[in-house]
């Protein structure tokens, strides 16, 4: 089949051409507000680069899960983690799909989602219907988010519900889902509750035990907000998620080309996740200029690899206190954050505790916005086995951020940003196959310089950013070809650079178009462990070029169509640090089409994912390919508001 990429370009060209014949009326875009520094401001005034997705954009898409939305509608590189879509791999700015998710700080309403081990964030526990906004910050955020914000951050904000709503969905490959939400808002107290259930039979053939790569998810949540006084607000929330999933193993290239749905004779990995979270937040307005925000979150999580009887229990405690001063054009935030993570297994108790202190300031002088911030963080590790020697280590790390934005005219602004960030190793990095202690390897440190420009004129918004990042001790897994001799270590020096473009155009009252493009290079400068064999090579799993295209057309006041297309160029396979494997990571592409029809209190929904039936996979090495998003599928549903 021919590539769908030229088709997507053709559609976008048609949209641009249509604008030449559009009415001369000014079809203004909705304003975009960013909050990554805890100071709300228009994105065109921010001294950093951002990508924001609103509730309106989420509802217009073909996505029904967080994984689908991030992979279809954002500029991130998102793939299932060896078939697991509930804890997907994430990458931006050239850190690679293998390790990229550990270089992005992920939060939900301020609660940290990153794990203390090599498990990816459990994004599948967040219903997409609950999300109000997704804010992606690139090359900045280390002062506010600390450990792991070397590439940037993903901030997810949920929304309270009012009224009652119920939805049902069905689709191909045995997909079924249902949800029920309700809420009430009063002058002093508001509350919302919700529950969601989904099941899918999977896309691949049954394995030797007769099971397909099926999945099921049950989730419940509740939130209460109280205005105790005019100055004091209290927020209490809780959620519970149970995920039961099976995901397939790898296939060879010949098997992938013949039929990516086959199982290669392997038994699918069966994993069960459980997550119970509760949180308490207090916001107190001390006086007109000074306010205090305090949050506490507790998460009890379980990961069970059923076939291996491998059960890990996690106890995560998060505390966040921020004192904010705002007077005139000056904003200052002084805060502390503690993330205490413990993993309990049958043989040991291992923990990683992050304690950070930060100061972030911002000042507006006529057309200029200045920002500066610094952070000190202490990372404490402890390993206590049931028998044997206990281990511990402490690291003190620093982050900083300096930025400036200059509004050149009412439509145009330019900005520059310099960011220092760090990634403290997860607890798995200190051990090799079989549990042999590998040593406390070094944290990674990055220095990133961003230059960007914003142009907003009525219905047209254009953002452009160029960046350069230099890193010391980027963390990776040195694969010798044998599990018994491979180990975790550091790339001594690496660098990354690139270009990012975002263009949104409201062509007329009915048609909107969006395009994102990124060019990224990630280079290994020196790596002593491989005896210089990797020097000058490209970091594997990083596509040089990536494109996301989107169109939304309002057929009439009740119905709309949304079309999106994602394409990423080929890359070196995930384990190919020497750039010498015979098989590369193939180019990724997928097109999604969604139709929505609203009448009175009902909304009908239909979507086709992977419209052109493109085959996609994750290449780890030669003939080790994990098929993902390799077939066309559909979904349809109904939502009723009471």
Q: What does the pLDDT look like over 489-548, one tens digit per residue?
A: 999 999 999 999 999 999 998 999 999 999 999 999 998 877 788 999 999 999 999 999
Give, for 15, the enclosing helix (H) or strand (E): helix 5-19
The least confident of 23-32, 133-142, 284-293, 454-463 is 23-32
- For residue 482, pLDDT over 90 is answered with no
pLDDT at 14: 42
Other CB atoms within a 10 A radius of the CB of residue 1 amount to: 7
Tokens of residue 154, six digits? 């993903």
- For residue 12, pLDDT over 50 is answered with no
pLDDT at 7: 43
Fold annotation for 5-641:
Maltoporin; Chain A (2.40.170)
DSSP 606-621: EEEESTT---EEEEEE
Tokens of residue 521, six digits? 């290079």
pLDDT at 26: 58
Q: What does the pLDDT look like over 595-627, one tens digit per residue?
A: 999 998 999 999 999 999 999 999 999 999 999
The span from the CA of 556 to the CA of 488, in Å, is 56
The span from the CA of 604 to the CA of 602, in Å, is 7
pLDDT band at 439 (very low <50, low <70, confident <90, very high): confident
Q: What does the pLDDT look like over 214-266, one tens digit per residue?
A: 999 999 999 999 999 999 999 999 999 999 999 988 999 999 999 999 988 88
The least confident of 276-280, 475-479, 616-620 is 475-479
Q: Name the residue among 59, 63, 92, 66 with its Cα closest to residue 590.
A: 63
pLDDT at 418: 98
- For residue 589, pLDDT over 80 is answered with yes
The span from the CA of 244 to the CA of 269, in Å, is 11
- Which residues are CB-contacts of 84 (< 8 A; sequence separation ≥ 6)? 245, 247, 269, 271
The least confident of 377-391, 421-435, 441-455 is 421-435
pLDDT at 9: 45
pLDDT at 24: 41
Q: What are phi and psi of 334, to 5 degrees?
A: -115, 125
State the average pLDDT over residues 160-167. Answer: 89
State the average pLDDT over residues 270-277. Answer: 95
pLDDT band at 23 (very low <50, low <70, confident <90, very high): very low
Give the Å distances, CA to CA, from 201 to 205, 211, 217, 521. Answer: 10, 9, 12, 39
Q: What are phi and psi of 202, to 5 degrees?
A: 100, 170
CB 546 within 8 A of CB 569: yes
- DSSP lists the bridge partners of residue 596 as 560, 605
Question: Please, what is the average pLDDT of the chain?
Answer: 91
pLDDT at 464: 96
CB 351 within 8 A of CB 339: no
**Domains of the chain: which residue ranges?**
5-641
Q: What does the pLDDT look like over 422-433, one tens digit per residue?
A: 999 999 999 887
The least confident of 22-36, 184-198, 580-594 is 22-36
pTM: predicted TM-score of the whole model, two decimal places: 0.92
pLDDT at 82: 80
- For residue 187, pLDDT over 90 is answered with no
pLDDT band at 81 (very low <50, low <70, confident <90, very high): confident
Give, for 59, the enclosing helix (H) or strand (E): helix 55-60
The span from the CA of 224 to the CA of 267, in Å, is 44
pLDDT at 301: 95
- For residue 169, pLDDT over 60 is answered with yes
DSSP 329-396: TEEEEEEEEEEEEEEE-SSEEEEEEEEEEEEEEEEEETTEEEEEEEEEEEEEEEEEESSS--EEEEEE
- DSSP lists the bridge partners of residue 85 as none
């Amino acid at each position: 089949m021919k590539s769908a990429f030229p088709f997507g370009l053709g559609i976008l060209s048609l949209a641009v051409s249509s604008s030449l014949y559009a009415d001369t009326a000014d079809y203004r875009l909705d304003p975009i507000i960013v909050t990554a520094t805890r100071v709300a401001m228009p994105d065109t005034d921010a001294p950093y680069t951002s990508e924001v997705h609103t509730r309106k954009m989420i509802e217009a898409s073909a996505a029904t899960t967080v994984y689908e939305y991030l992979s279809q509608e954002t500029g991130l590189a998102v793939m299932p983690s060896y078939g697991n879509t509930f804890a997907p791999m994430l990458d931006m700015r050239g850190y690679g799909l293998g390790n990229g998710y550990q270089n992005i700080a992920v939060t939900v309403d301020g609660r940290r989602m990153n794990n203390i081990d090599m498990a990816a964030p459990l994004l599948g526990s967040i219903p997409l219907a609950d999300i109000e906004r997704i804010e992606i910050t690139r090359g900045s955020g280390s002062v506010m988010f600390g450990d792991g914000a070397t590439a940037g951050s993903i901030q997810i904000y949920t929304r309270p519900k009012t009224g009652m709503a119920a939805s049902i969905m069905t689709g191909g490959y045995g997909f079924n889902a249902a949800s029920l939400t309700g809420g009430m808002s009063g002058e002093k107290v508001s509350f919302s509750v919700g529950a969601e259930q989904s099941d899918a039979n999977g896309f691949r053939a049954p394995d030797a035990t007769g099971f397909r790569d099926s999945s099921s998810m049950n989730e419940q949540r509740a939130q209460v907000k109280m205005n105790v006084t005019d100055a004091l607000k209290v927020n209490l929330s809780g959620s519970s998620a149970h995920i039961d999933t099976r995901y397939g193993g790898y296939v060879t290239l010949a098997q992938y080309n013949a039929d990516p749905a086959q199982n290669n004779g392997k038994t699918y990995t069966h994993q069960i996740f459980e997550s119970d979270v509760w949180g308490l937040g207090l916001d107190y307005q001390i006086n007109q200029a000074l306010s205090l925000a305090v949050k506490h979150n507790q998460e009890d999580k379980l990961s069970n690899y059923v076939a291996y009887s491998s059960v890990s229990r996690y106890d995560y405690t998060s505390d966040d206190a921020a004192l904010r001063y705002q007077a005139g054009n000056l904003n200052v935030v002084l805060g502390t954050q503690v993330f205490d993570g413990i993993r309990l297994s049958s043989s040991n108790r291992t923990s990683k505790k992050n304690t950070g202190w930060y100061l972030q300031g911002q000042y507006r002088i006529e057309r200029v916005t200045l920002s500066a911030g610094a952070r000190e963080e202490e990372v404490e590790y402890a390993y206590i086995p049931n028998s044997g020697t206990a281990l511990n280590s402490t690291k003190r790390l620093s982050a900083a951020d300096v930025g400036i934005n200059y509004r050149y005219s009412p439509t145009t602004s330019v900005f520059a940003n310099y960011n220092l960030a760090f990634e403290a190793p997860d607890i798995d990095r200190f051990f090799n196959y079989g549990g042999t202690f590998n040593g406390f390897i070094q944290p990674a440190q990055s220095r990133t310089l961003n230059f960007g420009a914003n142009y907003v004129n009525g219905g047209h918004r254009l953002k452009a950013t160029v960046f350069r990042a230099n890193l010391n001790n980027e963390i990776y897994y040195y694969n010798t070809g044998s599990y018994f001799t491979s180990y975790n270590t550091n790339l001594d020096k690496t660098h990354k650079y690139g270009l990012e473009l975002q263009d949104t155009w409201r062509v007329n009252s009915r048609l909107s178009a969006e395009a994102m493009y990124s060019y990224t290079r990630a280079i290994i400068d020196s790596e002593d462990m491989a005896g210089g064999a990797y020097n000058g090579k490209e970091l594997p799993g990083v596509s040089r070029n990536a494109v996301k295209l989107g169109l939304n057309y309002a057929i009439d006041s009740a119905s709309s169509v949304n079309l999106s297309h994602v394409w990423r160029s080929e890359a070196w396979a995930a384990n190919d640090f020497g750039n010498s494997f015979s098989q590369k990571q193939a180019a990724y592409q997928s097109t999604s089409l969604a139709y929505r029809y609203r009448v009175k209190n009902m909304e009908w929904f239909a979507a086709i994912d992977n419209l052109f039936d493109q085959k996609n996979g994750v290449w780890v090495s030669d003939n080790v390919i994990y098929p993902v998003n390799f077939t066309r599928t559909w979904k349809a549903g109904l939502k009723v508001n009471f």
